Amino acid sequence: MTTIRKNNLISILLVTTASCLLYGIGSGIRSNYGIMLGAISASSGLAYSSVSFVLAVGQLVFGIMQPVFGIVALKKSNLFVLCWGILSMAAGLLMIPFCRSAWMLMIFLGIVLPAGTGALSFGIVMGAITPRIPASSASTVSGFVSASSGIGSIILSPVAQALIASSGLIGAMIFLSVPTLVLLPVALWLCRPRTGQESSPKDERRESMKELFFNAIHSSTYRFLLIGFFTCGFHMAIIETHLYTQITTYGVSEKTAAYAFSIYGLASIIGCVLSGAACSRLQMKQVLGFLYGLRCIIVLTFFLVPKTLLTIYAFTILLGMTGNSTVPPTSGLVSRTFGAAKLATLFGIAFLSHQIGSFFSAWLGGVSISATGSYTFIWGTSVLLSALASFVSFRIKEA
């Protein structure tokens, strides 16, 4: 009996590690667009606002492709989606330095690369590993998978900045494509066939996909979650796309700004784990409402205090603590309200709302900087939306 338990534990640890690698590296590349933005603008010869628009389209593509890939995974397999995403990410990274026009940059930075990261999204990865872990361990594993998104900021942020400074954009993109391609054998191992595994009937799947969203949208809980995730996407895109450049405007070196992003990544891991622990003790709507409300206080306080290295690091730490930490209560509420079987699809649709918010934030942020030279408008909008998200989250009727 002890040997069986030990083998099960080892199996869970291996599956968790593999899934964290898939989700962590995909999220890490996506979270470092801000560090690449200046180099991409210089390499392509396009204006900052034009590259910001391409990144905004990429945020939208990333969101759109998640429910699409959820359907593809049902018809093909999770392995097909994951491998397609890995190859798409590598192709996008390698081609970005050779883009010399807006349309080429739109193809590879706005479509190919974000579509690849969409294939390695939270819902797809969790869909791949759920049959391989006990139901009692699913929530714990999902917390670690969500927390792994901070790996990119901790490791890839300073590495990407250093490589851009020393080897230029092409050197950085080649380097980043290496860990991306290493994910192929990880995906093959994780999705290896299992004997005796049965799938749901196709007719039942089609019926579920046809009616699922229309049934969910009639629920006030799901509508409030969509509002919250739209706000979350708007807020997170400011951090991923514009915060790095904003920090450097305070007289901070690019190297120091990259380290700030590393701290942000570590804080996001801690925040995600704490959020998952809080959800097991408190109502999830309370955790979600608190997180959105806390964002308002953090941003307003930062704009009132002097911009020193201490306040900048404190700001990034607090942003990290409240960033990805909205994922556990949001996914938990979706699962509790609609059932675990519908989690991947409905969470993917919610994440589309998240990326619509990211689209407007990434685009309007670039427009705001070009027009006013200030980040005040975009952060002020985030504060108002976060206040709304906090209000509707507390109104959720949790079972």
Question: Which tens digits make up the pLDDT trace of 81-138?
Answer: 999 999 999 999 999 999 989 999 999 999 999 999 999 988 788 778 877 777 666 6
pLDDT band at 367 (very low <50, low <70, confident <90, very high): confident
Computed over every residue of the chain, the mean pLDDT equals 83
pLDDT in tens, 206-264: 445 567 778 888 899 999 999 999 999 999 888 877 888 888 888 888 888 878 877 88
CA distance 296 to 285: 17
Contact 150, 272 (CB under 8 A): yes
Mean pLDDT lowest among 200-209, 279-288, 377-386? 200-209
Mean pLDDT of 280-309: 91
pLDDT at 2: 60
The residues, any chain, with a CB within 8 Å of residue 209's CB and separated by 6 or more, are: 71, 74, 345
**Portion of the chain with pLDDT greater than 70, in percent:** 91
**Which position has the higher pLDDT, 399 or 235?**
235
List the one residue out of 32, 68, 12 whose CA is nearest residue 162: 32
pLDDT at 203: 43
pLDDT at 4: 52
In one-letter notation, the amino acid at residue 239 is I
Given a cut of 70, whether residue 13 has pLDDT beyond it is yes
Does the predicted model carry a pTM greater than 0.75? no
Given a cut of 80, whether residue 5 has pLDDT beyond it is no
pLDDT at 398: 76
Q: What is the DSSP letter of 375?
A: S
pLDDT band at 318 (very low <50, low <70, confident <90, very high): very high
3-class DSSP state of 398 = coil
pLDDT at 201: 42
CA distance 59 to 373: 23
User: 3-state SS string over 255-299?
Assistant: HHHHHHHHHHHHHHHHHHHHHHHHHCCCCHHHHHHHHHHHHHHHH
pLDDT band at 12 (very low <50, low <70, confident <90, very high): confident
pLDDT in tens, 22-60: 998 888 888 778 788 888 988 888 888 888 889 888 878
Contact 391, 290 (CB under 8 A): no
pLDDT at 328: 82
Mean pLDDT of 371-388: 89
pLDDT band at 194 (very low <50, low <70, confident <90, very high): low
Task: For the chain, give the number of residues.
Answer: 399
- Judge residue 4's burial from the number of C-beta atoms within 10 Å of its C-beta, 0-12 exposed, 13-18 middle, 19 or more buried: exposed
CATH pick for 14-190+202-394 out of 3.90.1150.10, 3.40.50.10310, 3.30.1370.60, 1.20.1250.20 = 1.20.1250.20
Given a cut of 80, whether residue 200 has pLDDT beyond it is no
Mean pLDDT of 157-185: 86
Q: What is the DSSP letter of 195?
A: T
Given a cut of 60, whether residue 322 has pLDDT beyond it is yes
Given a cut of 70, whether residue 279 has pLDDT beyond it is yes
Give the CA distances from residue 64 to residues 20, 93, 233, 248, in Å, rounded to whole numbers and listed in that order.
22, 20, 13, 32
The residues, any chain, with a CB within 8 Å of residue 367's CB and separated by 6 or more, are: 49, 52
Mean pLDDT lowest among 96-105, 210-219, 296-305, 312-321? 210-219
